[in-house]
Amino acid sequence: MIIVKETSTTTYLQGQIVDENIEFTLVELSRVSGASEEELTLWVSEGVFEPKGEQPQEWRFSGAALRRVQTAQRLAHDFQINPPGVALALDLLDEIDVLRSRVKRPRGS
């Protein structure tokens, strides 16, 4: 006699849905992302983000910045990339996204 045991696999996805029109202060973005204010300030100085406002106390980040912060954190922590390297890597990832969107567009558009 052969017994076949079926198993089911449950996959959990974790994510955050953030309205891109929402704005975060430096402190709020730090809290929600888990990145330190120092890391965020370094990344701003390297051009990773371009917040609205002149001084850190006045900075406002868009909701889209949250995803970028999370990517920057993975690059910095998982691969131990310094702030200039994070900025370069994110620029290259942005370029890849642009090129992929061009390839997906039907010819003649």
Residue-range domains of the chain with CATH = 23-103 (1.10.1660.10)
Contact 40, 59 (CB under 8 A): no
pLDDT at site 53: 96
The closest of 28, 91, 86 to 60, measured between CA atoms, is 28
Q: What is the mean pLDDT of residues 62-87?
A: 95
* Mean pLDDT in residue range 32-52: 95
Q: Residue 35: which pLDDT band, with cuts at 50, 70 and 90?
A: very high
12, pLDDT greater than 80: no
Q: What is this structure's pTM?
A: 0.74
Element (H, E) at 88: helix 83-104
pLDDT bin (cut points 50, 70, 90) of residue 25 is very high
What is the pLDDT, as a whole number, of residue 105?
Answer: 77
C-alpha span between 16 and 32 (Å, rounded): 10
Contact 49, 5 (CB under 8 A): no
